[in-house]
Amino acid sequence: MIINKPYLLFLGDAPDQLAAKTADGIAYWRRNDCLGQLRLKNCNADLGLPELNIAEAIKLGARTLIIGVANRGGCISDSWLPHLKEALNSGMDIASGLHKRLSDIEELASLAKSRGRSLFDVRHPTEDFPVGNGRRRAGKRLLTVGTDCSVGKMYAALAIEQEMKRRGLAADFRATGQTGILIAGSGVSIDAVVSDFISGAVEAISPNQAPNHWDIIEGQGSLYHPSYAGVSLGLLHGAQADALVMCHEPTRKHMRGVPEYPLPSIEECIAANETAAKLTNTAARCIGISINTFALQETEALKLLQETENRIGLPCVDAVRTGVTRIVDNLVS
């Protein structure tokens, strides 16, 4: 699955900026892939991109309309349909990370078919993956892992890819969640893969590479999350990571969605991930920590990063606030 770029980002009638966070992520990490934004009346999100209608976007070379807004329930609004049909009629593909499939909407499915266009429902894998084989692959791999879900694993991975590319190193972000897939234009929504094939799917998206090439793989969940640890472990084994980066959110009161479960310490979470990772790569080690300090004031944030670094002895950054140069320094040293 390869989603063609450049994109037109569809924000629909997003009630606020948060509802357009998928589009926000794409515009933040792949500004050059985004020709503009298409907003309906009542849209309260704004990415600061040029306002384009579909005809204008086509004229500029747009290949794919990205649904960059999430509705309650992950549905596709009726009010979006005329625009989606116009996009298909004009020669664009459509990609969506919503739960509800574009391909389940009969009028979109039949129109796409008759026009020879593709509908990408990136939350729902369509490929068949083999069972993981555990065989070592050439090239190097970094995986972001976490003390919990939604602690910044995708952002950390994208920041590391960006910094490595800035230094002229060979690195590619490998997406395992829907926003990441739309950013990268490919990948697999790993938590939607049938469980027999978790590690096989990760092996497939981070295949053999040149010896100095780094795949920077987006992690999911946490080994300490009672709902999702199986996904995290299969991802860890399939990645055969040489390097792990531990991600953490310091204001979290309990594991996301399960109030009975406290967060692990960063130290024990690193130890558990290193131990499990060594099954498929005995050289696996954690090479840095990324803490999402968004909820903290600057002074407090920097103090926390420094204290954590002193305590654990690994570079400790905030991928957004401080950047990841020190993690990449440690990676290539």
- Binding residues among 228-267 for a second copy as defined by CB under 8 A: 228-235, 237, 257-258, 260-261
Q: State the minimum distance, in angstroms, from the CB of residue 273 to a second copy.
A: 13
User: CB under 8 A: which stretch of 26-34, 275-283, 298-306, 325-333 binds a second copy?
Assistant: 275-283
Burial class (CB in 10 A: 0-12, 13-18, 19+), 230: middle
Q: State the minimum distance, in angstroms, from the CB of residue 304 to a second copy.
A: 26
Q: State the minimum distance, in angstroms, from the CB of residue 204 to a second copy.
A: 13
Provide the 3-class DSSP secondary structure of residue 217: strand
Q: State the minimum distance, in angstroms, from the CB of residue 70 to a second copy.
A: 17
Which residue has 């991928």 as its token pair? 319
Among 18, 210, 279, 295, binds a second copy (CB under 8 A): 279
Decide: is 224 part of the binding site for a second copy (CB under 8 A). yes
Cβ closer to a second copy: 39 or 225? Answer: 225
Distance CA 128, CA 261 (A): 34
Q: Which two tokens stand for residue 271?
A: 């130890």
Q: State the minimum distance, in angstroms, from the CB of residue 234 to a second copy.
A: 3
Distance CA 136, CA 238 (A): 10
User: CB under 8 A: which stretch of 25-33, 105-113, 159-167, 226-234 binds a second copy?
Assistant: 226-234
Exposure string (b/e) for 25-56, b if CB count within 10 Å is 16 or more? bbbebbeebbbbbbbbeebebebebeebebee
Distance CA 331, CA 308 (A): 19
Which residue has 């952002």 as its token pair? 155
Burial class (CB in 10 A: 0-12, 13-18, 19+), 253: exposed
Distance CA 52, CA 327 (A): 39
CB of 62 closer than 8 Å to CB of 92: yes
- Binding residues among 186-215 for a second copy as defined by CB under 8 A: 190-196, 198-200
Q: State the minimum distance, in angstroms, from the CB of residue 151 to a second copy.
A: 18
User: CB under 8 A: which stretch of 33-41, 94-102, 184-192, 284-292 binds a second copy?
Assistant: 184-192
Please name every residue paired with 172 in a beta bridge, in sequence order, or none if there are none: 215
User: CB under 8 A: which stretch of 27-35, 40-48, 54-62, 126-134 binds a second copy?
Assistant: 126-134
Give me the residues that bind a second copy (CB under 8 A), please.
131-136, 190-196, 198-200, 223-224, 226-235, 237, 257-258, 260-261, 276, 279-280
